[in-house]
Amino acid sequence: MMSPRDWIFSAAVCSVCWACGDRPDPPGPAEGAVTVLESQPRPEEPEPEDAPAPVDAPEPAAPVADAGTPPADDGAPGGDNGDPLAGDPPGGAGPVLAACIEEGNNCTVINIAVLDESAGSCVELVVDDCGTFTRAGLPVDIPVTWRLGSASVGDLEEGCVPAAYDPDSAIIVDGSGSISWNLDTRRPSDLVVDLSLEPASSAGIDSPVGVAGTFAGDIPDCES
């Protein structure tokens, strides 16, 4: 029979031995067992929704030319830099009319030249208000106290300038139509000519000779 002292000693030795011995391995899964996580099916990953197709950016509009800017003046006749005696033909084509005024001895004379390049001719007209007429003018409509004193048609070799006559030009013997201008201004302005002229039969020129043109603004003085 062990004494209490021996029993306590034996128990202490056994506890030390138990602490120093190898600890048993923890129980592992039974052979043939299947892990729950591995046996469960993996959920399918959701496919990404189709992204909307990109919207094409609108193409920039083509630049529009500024229709309000006027073209530069090229100095053509009848413009601000052109011949001050010449008027622009109607519609920018056809005969070109030039005019100038001579004044003296209580008499005003309007010299008119109408250039027609297509016909190769230059028509010279002289309108005056000299008061005492030695002869009647050509029968055309014209403001009161005025007359178409003379008219002629020539070629372009001598040019076509008011009051510069071609000595070989054909004299006009008859005519019809009208010559008019603005009567509200101090001196004649805004001249309009629309005539049908008959040259002398001996001139050998086809008749009638049509003459039409305008001169905008005040008629300038003739150059000396």
Where do the structural domains in the chain lie, given as residue ranges?
Answer: 93-218
pLDDT, residue 125, reads 96
Phi and psi, residue 216, nearest 5°: -90, 140
Residue 142, pLDDT above cutoff 70: yes
**Segment 172-187 mean pLDDT:** 94
Residues 6+ apart with CB under 8 A from 178: 140, 141, 142, 192, 193, 194, 195
pLDDT, residue 33, reads 44
Residue 43, pLDDT above cutoff 90: no
Cα–Cα distance measured from residue 171 to residue 151, given in angstroms and rounded to the nearest whole number:
6
Higher pLDDT pick, 217 / 64: 217
Cα–Cα distance measured from residue 115 to residue 86, given in angstroms and rounded to the nearest whole number:
10
**Segment 158-183 mean pLDDT:** 90
Q: What is the pTM of this model?
A: 0.59
Q: Is 108 exposed, middle or buried (0-12, 13-18, 19+ CB in 10 A)?
A: middle
**Segment 152-175 mean pLDDT:** 86
Q: Which contacts qualify for 96-99: CB closer than 8 Å, 24 or more apart?
A: 96/213, 97/191, 97/193, 97/213, 97/214, 97/215, 98/160, 98/161, 98/162, 98/215, 99/162, 99/191, 99/215, 99/219
For the chain, the average pLDDT equals 73
Lowest mean pLDDT: which of 17-26, 117-126, 173-182?
A: 17-26
pLDDT, residue 16, reads 41
| Side chain identity at residue 14, one-letter code | C
Pair 188, 181: CB distance under 8 Å:
yes
- Cα torsion through 14, 19, 21, 25, rounded to 10: 130
Q: Calculate what percentage of the chain has a pLDDT beyond 90.
A: 36
